[in-house]
Amino acid sequence: MPDNPGEASAVVVDQVVRVFTPRRQPPVRALDNVSLTIDPGEVHGLLGPNGAGKTTLVKILSTVLLPTSGRATICGYDVVRATRQVQPLIGIVFGGERGLYTRLTARQNLEYWGALYRLPGAQVRPRANALLERVGLADKAEKRVETYSRGMKQRLHLARGLMGDARVLFLDEPTTGMDPLAARDFRRLVGELKGEGRTILLATHDMVEAETVCDRVTLIDHGRIIATETPRSLSQMMSRFQRVDVEGADTALLDEVRAIAGVMGVETEDASARIQVDTEDALRAVLKLVVDRGITAVQTSLPSLEEVYVGLIGDRGLEV
């Protein structure tokens, strides 16, 4: 299906607002003047904590939900006014346990959706087979979905989203609840899809995932966009708030640590100390120092999403 001529972006979101009015409760502004663009072939991360509005935005873009105001286009087609043209272009991969017919086999699920995505009859089975192979479910294809593990269901979700050969894919927290190995495999698949020229919007609350997979990352919280960053700057932000926890360091050593450039602070409690560092260099210097002095109980950890947000807002004087 041809794009609207002259439209360079795959996804355009323009001042979208979405208000929910639940029964007997005050209205909720799930999305507040959200704007962003995604280039064709880009893997774009949508990073935010639970309740930030990620799923709401994904639903609007996938024509499931109408925006209260504002505009959104997929390959130049308006999601509200040109829904018919948008739907064949997109693939939806919602996460979790639901969204599949559990008493059907994987193959039956895929063939059903293949028909609904208007695949010519002769293509339905071959494509289902190819996708099952691709996501590694070929040998379990005849088993009922209710027997599947979380990771397997997630892979089936991805296969389902691809049955229509979507140009633009929406992935909503696809690796939640997956074990690290399965999550890594999944991300590899996402990379392959990018290589095929598909545009991908990945909604997640996992910073590491956003940093590893995406070309750009938009941070969202309480329905508002905070910033759009490259993974590199995201990574720098994360290292800004890294910390090193050590055991058994004496006061003299800790004074030396404090003197290192880039060390923001040292908190002590009994024999433990938490060292806050600002840069990768500082981190390396601290580690080298404590290890050289014979300290072996050393642990580093990354900041939480909240800490990164707070830091970001503090930095830029942004209001949230």
Partner 1 sequence: MVRGVLAGVRLQLILYRQYPDSFIPLMTAPLYTIIFVMIVRHGGRADLSGYAVVAPAFISLWWFALFHGGLVVNSDRWSQTLELHVAAPTSFPAVIFGRILTVTLVGQLSFVEVWLVGKYLLRTPIAIQHPGVLTATLLATAFAMAATALFMACLFVLVRNAFTMTNSISYPFYVLGGILVPVALLPGFVQPVSRLVFLSWSADLLRASLSAAPVADVGFRLAMIVLLGAAGFAVAADLMRRVVQRVRNTGELGLR
Interface residues toward partner 1, by CB under 8 A: 20-21, 55-56, 59, 62-66, 84, 87-88, 90, 92, 94, 98-104, 108, 112-113, 115-118, 144, 164
Residues 266 and 275 sit within 8 Å (Cβ to Cβ):
yes
State how far the Cα of 66 lies from the Cα of 226, in Å rounded to an integer: 23
Please state the closest distance from residue 134 (CB atom) to partner 1, in A. Answer: 20
State how far the Cα of 68 lies from the Cα of 176, in Å rounded to an integer: 29
CA Rg value for the chain? 23
Whichever of 88 and 248 has its CB closer to partner 1, that residue is 88
The CA-atom distances, in angstroms, between 2 and each of 61, 85, 294 are: 19, 10, 65
Other beta carbons less than 10 A from residue 8's beta carbon? 10
Please state the closest distance from residue 99 (CB atom) to partner 1, in A. Answer: 5
Whichever of 2 and 317 has its CB closer to partner 1, that residue is 2
Whichever of 71 and 144 has its CB closer to partner 1, that residue is 144
* 75 φ/ψ sector (left φ>0, alpha ψ -120 to 50, else beta): left
Please state the closest distance from residue 174 (CB atom) to partner 1, in A. Answer: 14
**Single-letter code of the amino acid located at 122:** A
Whichever of 92 and 308 has its CB closer to partner 1, that residue is 92
Please state the closest distance from residue 208 (CB atom) to partner 1, in A. Answer: 25
Whichever of 85 and 300 has its CB closer to partner 1, that residue is 85
215 DSSP 8-state letter: S
State how far the Cα of 133 lies from the Cα of 215, in Å rounded to an integer: 27
Please state the closest distance from residue 144 (CB atom) to partner 1, in A. Answer: 8
